[in-house]
Structure formats: C-alpha cells, structure tokens
A and B are shown apart, each in its own frame.
Chain A
Amino acid sequence: MAHETAHHYESNTKRIWIVFAILSVLTIVEVFLGIIKPGFLVHTDLFSLSLLNWIFIILTLFKAYYIAWAFMHLEGEVKGLRRAIVWTGVFLISYLIFILLTEGDYVNEVFKTNHVAWDF
C-alpha cells in the first residue's frame, strides 16, 4: 500500500464553489423556462422535438458535464480512463435512445391509423 497518493495536492475549493454556482444557475434557468413555457419555444420544432425540450436536454448535458468533470474529478484522470467511461456510456445510450424512441413513435402511428379501435 505504499503508493504515493498524497502527491502535491492543491486545494480546489474555489473551483468547487464556482461549479456550484454554474449548476445552480442552470437549474434556475430550467425551472424558470419550465414554469413560463415561452410560446415560441414550445411551438418551434427542430427534428420533431420542440426547441424548449432541446434547451432542457442541452442544459442537462452541461450539468452532467460539470458534475462528472469537476465533482467526480474526471478532469484529473488520465485520458484513457476518461474515454473508457464517457464513450462507453455515450455510444450505448445514444443507440438505446434512438432505437426505443423510433419504435415508440411507430407504435403510436399504428395506434392512430390502425383499423382496430383502442379507445372504445
């Protein structure tokens, strides 16, 4: 157990508080938009998803980035470990989301256009 874990570590408190401020601001913006729901964002679609939902998802990814990089200290890990963690998740999750949402949309189409009534 004699490996040197305590190598010249400098305190990060300032960065921690800055990240906390960023996360708080992002959350407040999300909640604010979620409550007022500006009409032009709700009714403008981009790739069959409203602009408002795109904003929510992008802000969420930003928050995830800050939590993983600053709090879970991924920024201090070596590149190999960081990539193994991030890309595994990103590839598998994007694939899963793509395949399931496409299927869900298809089932919705079937319900709508099928000859069998499901609301009787």
Chain B
Amino acid sequence: MDATVVRTGTEGKSWGGGNEPLKASYGKMMMWFFIVSDALTFSGFLAAYGFSRFKFIDSWPIADEVFNHFPFLHGVDAPMYYVALMTFILIFSSVTMVLAVDAGHQMKKGKVIFYMFFTIIGGLIFLGSQAWEWKNFITGTYGAVSTKGGNILQFVDNEGHRVALADIAQTIPGERVPHTRESGVWFEEGAALPTYSIEEIKAGFAANENILLRTQALTEEGEKTVLSRDESLRKLNTEAVGVIEGANLSQNEYGPPLFADFFFFITGFHGFHVLSGVLINIIIFFNVVIGTYERRGSYEMVEKVGLYWHFVDLVWVFVFTFFYLV
C-alpha cells in the first residue's frame, strides 16, 4: 500500500480522508442520496396525479368500482381486498428483510439466508399480483360507450347494478370486417374492431326498457349520476360514437384516459422498482450463500439492499393511499 499511495501529509487530520461525519459509510450514504432523489421522482408522479384528479374532481373514477377483483371469486364484488393483500405481502417481505439485516449484524449466516429467501419470494408474489391486477384492468369487465366529447357512458339496470355490453348488444348482421394490410390499397391496418358495434349497442339499448345510462359526473353523495330512461335514450342516440372495452393508454372504460395513463405509469414504475429490488436481492442472496460477507466480516451490503427494499415498500404505502383509498 505504501508503494502506490501518494502521501499528502494530512493523514489523521480532518481532510486526510476516511472521515464519516454522519457516522454512515460511503455506500450507505449513497444509497440514501439515491432514495431521497427517487422519493422526489415518485412524489412528482403522485402530485401530477393529484393535479389531474383535481382538474376532473367531479368526474374521476371511483377506485372501489375499478379494482374489485379477487382471485377465484369470479363476478364477486370485492373492493380493495386484493390490493390490501398485496400491501400485506410487501410489508411482510419488508419485515423479513429487516430480520435478515438484524441477523447480519449478529453474523448469523444461516438466518440471513433464511430471511432473504422469504423476502425474495414475497417480492415475486407481489410482482405476480400486480401483473394480474394489470390484466384485469386492461381486459375490463363491463365495457362502455364513448361520446363525441371524449367522455364515457356506462350501463346500469334499474337497481343501479352495472350491465355488460354483452348483455345489451343485439346482433346486427353486417359487413364489419377488420381492415387488414392484404385488403388495402395502402399498406396500413385499421384499428382493431370492438366486439360490438355502436349500432348494435344502440339497438339493444332501445329494445331493453330496464337499462339506464350512467355518466361520469359525481353526485353530492359521491356516486355516479344515473340518467332517466328518456334522457338515456336521447344521450345515447345523439352523443355516443364508439365502443370501449377495457383500458389502454388512449381509451379507458372506467373514465378519463388520464386515469389509465397514471395507473400504468405509477404502478408500472413502482413495479419496475420491485423487479430491480428482487434482482438485487437475488444477487446479494447468492453472495451471502457463498460466504462473501462472512469473509468480509460485515453484512453491510445486506443492510444497503435492505434500505432499497424498504423504500420500495414505503412508496407502495403512498401509492396504495392515493390510488386506491383517497
């Protein structure tokens, strides 16, 4: 060491290097720097979500109605149970992570391996749950009709229960053929056709006396406005232009397309953090298994990935509140 290091004559003095005024090692400090900047990024997204929501405060979708699926309970209205379960899974994997860090401080390799393993499993379950949630959101449940003004009209029966497009539409024989490259003069495809055409929906709606329209406007009670039968017929026949099933970045059967955009962007960005957290955890897990930190004499590396993992959990706590509860 003496042969390669240029001496500055300040060894042991304040500017000699190796000082830790905040009593945290370099690696831990840098992890905290990263976490603070990442927290600001996430708050930027969530604040932008808040902006759009305040902009459409009287017509924003109600989260309970959008996220009401639960595995194996098909067709049962289960508002938020699934997200609550996901939250528990993530909190619990945070607990096993902190237990792994704790075991690392006591230099108990076996326990570190045990707890990190469960942390990784928890992260994977969370990712799978999120994929399932996305699938439900993208496929949609009931479908809706879009208006000229870019709004969404949904269908309900007399009791206010939602009615799916499939239960309304009448089959009108016609030449609804998707435009493909082969049949075109120009080498372009048309947009995919929805299952039902707007004419089929209109005909079915006119035939079925028990079905009403529901607009996006929120009432004093915080529920969506249901129109009278006459009003529904008038609105559907004059304003409806298209059929929407499910959600993507440009259209959304639950409400403003912005809602879907923010959902994909924020939960997607968070999910990407979970994914990278799982990958980093796996790397560190194998390092623990082959004894790298045992030989190094310190499990600080586990502590650093632990910080990242807890941060991912921390972000989810906020996403959960602002996307699903408030």
**Which residues of A does B touch, CB under 8 Å?**
1, 3, 5-6, 9, 11-13, 16-17, 20, 23-24, 27-28, 30-31, 34-35, 42, 53, 56-57, 60, 63-64, 67-68, 70-73, 77-78, 80-81, 84-85, 88-89, 92-93, 96-97, 100-101, 103-105, 107-108, 111, 118-120
**Band of interface residues on B:** 35 or more
- Residues of chain B contacted by A23 (CB below 8 angstroms): 91
Contact A16-B102, Cβ < 8 Å, known A80-B22, A93-B43: yes
Q: Specify which chain B residues have a CB less than 8 angstroms from the CB of A5 in the assembled complex.
A: 25, 298, 300
Name the contact of B317 in the complex, choosing from A34, A67, A96, A104 (C-beta under 8 A): A67
**Is A27's CB under 8 angstroms from B84's CB?**
yes
From B55, B99, B151, B318, A104 is in contact (CB under 8 Å) with: B55
How far, in angstroms, from A107 to B26 measured CA to CA in the complex?
46
Q: How far is the CB of B107 from chain A (nearest CB, A)?
A: 7
Among the listed B36, B88, B99, B324, which residue makes an inter-chain contact with A13, where contact means beta carbons less than 8 Å apart?
Answer: B99
* Given known A-B contacts A81-B22, A89-B40, A67 and B55 have beta carbons under 8 A apart: no
Binds A, one of B161-169, B179-187, B246-254, B308-316: B308-316
- Which residue on B lies nearest to A53, using beta carbons? B326
- Quick check: B310 and A72 within 8 Å, CB to CB? yes
Can you name 17 A-B pairs with beta carbons within 8 Å? A3-B20, A3-B25, A6-B105, A6-B297, A23-B91, A27-B87, A34-B80, A56-B321, A56-B325, A67-B94, A68-B314, A89-B36, A96-B47, A97-B43, A104-B52, A108-B57, A119-B151
Asked if B21 is at the interface of the complex by the 8 Å CB criterion, the answer is yes
| B310 contacts A71, C-beta separation under 8 Å | yes
**Is the contact region of chain A dominated by helix, strand, or loop, or is it mixed?**
helix
Q: How far is the CB of B28 from chain A (nearest CB, A)?
A: 9
Indicate if the CB atoms of B91 and A20 lie closer than 8 Å: yes
Q: Is the CB of A16 within 8 A of B99?
A: yes
Measured in the bound complex, the distance between the Cα atoms of B44 and A96 in whole Å is 7
Contact between B326 and A77 (Cβ–Cβ < 8 Å)? no
A13 proximity list for chain B (CB < 8 A): 99, 102
Q: Tell whether B48 is near chain A: CB-to-CB under 8 Å.
A: yes
Whether the Cβ atoms of A78 and B23 lie closer than 8 Å is yes
Other-chain contact of A27, B91, B107, B147 (Cβ < 8 Å): B91
| B contact residues around A101 at 8 Å (CB) | 47, 50-51, 54
Complex interface: chain A residues within 8 A of B35 (CB): 85
User: Which residue of A is nearest B307, CB measured?
Assistant: A72
Q: Which of B79, B95, B106, B310 contacts A20 (CB 8 A)?
A: B95
Tell me whether A85 and B32 are in contact in the complex, defined as CB-CB below 8 angstroms, given that A11-B102, A30-B321, A104-B55 are known contacts. yes
Q: A89-B36, A108-B57 are in contact. Are A30 and B325 (CB under 8 A)?
A: yes
